[in-house]
Amino acid sequence: MSEKSSSVYQERTVQNFLKDGNLSDIFEKILAGERLSREDGIRVYQSDDLLQIGYLADLVKQRKTGNYVYFINNRHINPSNICINRCKFCAFSRDKEDPDAYTMSLDEIMEAALESAPRGITELHIVGGLHPDLPFTFYLEMVKGLKEALPHVHIQAFTAVEIDYFSRISGLSTEGVLRQLKDVGLGSLPGGGAEIFSERARKKAWEKKISGSRWLEIMRTAHKLGIKSNATMLYGHIETIEERIDHLLSLRRLQDETRGFQAFIPLAFHPKNTELSRLSFTTGRDDLKTLAIARLMLDNFDHIKAFWIMIGIKLAQISLAFGVDDMDGTIVEEKITHAAGAETPEAISKSALIKSIKDAGRTPVERDTVYNVLKIYN
């Protein structure tokens, strides 16, 4: 953004913001580059002025990444939907005996990866259930085989929940598991499994899953080994606004310590086919506000990602004016959110992603997993 246009932008922001005196002190903090407190975050969530919140988030985004919006050419693989946890909020998991339970063989996983290679993917994103029978060596062989077949492709795999499970079934420490996976080709961890760190919510909806403190401990270990990761927050179910802000603050504290998080990704809860199906889907308003507040609260995160699979490509496009600077990727095959009622496509072409970003007035930037710039589409 030029100096002149930046000045006009700030003037416009001030004029709009002054309409809501309750947030004027927060606006001053953001202009001064000061960190927002827990109380600030709660107050912003309680504000009804979505456009002003969006302006503030976009101001922070412009400072960090200018007009750039990132995306990646990637493919998702979910090796199995069999999971011993069977969390109430999850529509993807199955018991072994269920007719639609599946487990891909190593050959089938390899075939899926190689199918996408001609499209020039730079990342394989792999997450699955906690399978009761597969040994840790299965996952080591999977990563090793994929890396040998596609050495130029970054492997981002296994949530912190899976890493904890590997530790339990192998008898290795968390560090031991991560070191072995890194040695055979693991590049980074996705951010899944964090859900909401609130123990109150966890006991009600996913009592078997690792605690929030354990999730943070695993990420801390990964970061200290030089393994980057993303961070997520599942919102729109039984959590409170205060619990959302506390979740963000926990992530912010760990990021201060390790600097290992690359991006934060709010994940909108999809209730269909879950034990929480009585709940409603999130609204567009809540989606945009949550993305914007994440941008405001997580001042030490470089990137805020709108996962278009969950909120739709059109709302993700709008979110680029609400603090978002990453649209995620081409995906190819997404099963977890669609099992819970997502009506979005399971893939998008690179050209469609580029057009969506350009139509929003932003500059598309193709990146790799660790945010090296591959191409700028001016």
Is the pLDDT at 273 greater than 90? The verdict is: no
- Could you tell me what percent of the chain has a pLDDT over 90? 76
Q: pTM of the entire structure?
A: 0.92
CA distance 307 to 39: 27
CA dihedral (64, 66, 67, 69) positive or negative: negative
Q: Give residue for tokens 């890194």.
A: 182
- Confidence label for 207 from pLDDT (cuts 50, 70 and 90): confident
The phi-psi region of residue 226 (left if phi > 0; otherwise alpha if psi is between -120 and 50; otherwise beta) is left
Is the pLDDT at 1 greater than 90? The verdict is: no
pLDDT, tens only, 82-138: 999 988 888 888 999 999 999 999 999 999 999 988 989 999 999 999 999 999 999
DSSP single-letter state for residue 86 = -
User: What's the pLDDT at 344?
Assistant: 73
CA distance 93 to 84: 8
User: What's the pLDDT at 330?
Assistant: 87
pLDDT, tens only, 28-61: 899 899 999 999 999 999 999 899 899 999 999 9
CA distance 145 to 139: 10
Is the pLDDT at 223 greater than 60? The verdict is: yes
CA distance 285 to 238: 18
E-strand stretches of the chain? 68-72, 74-77, 123-126, 154-157, 186-189, 228-235, 261-268, 303-304, 326-329, 363-367, 373-376
- Confidence label for 15 from pLDDT (cuts 50, 70 and 90): low
Is the distance from CB of 162 to CB of 194 less than 8 angstroms? no
pLDDT, tens only, 307-356: 998 899 999 999 999 999 999 988 876 677 777 667 777 678 899 999 99
Closest CA to 227 of 150, 305, 162, 160: 160
Is the pLDDT at 3 greater than 60? The verdict is: no
pLDDT, tens only, 282-291: 999 999 999 9
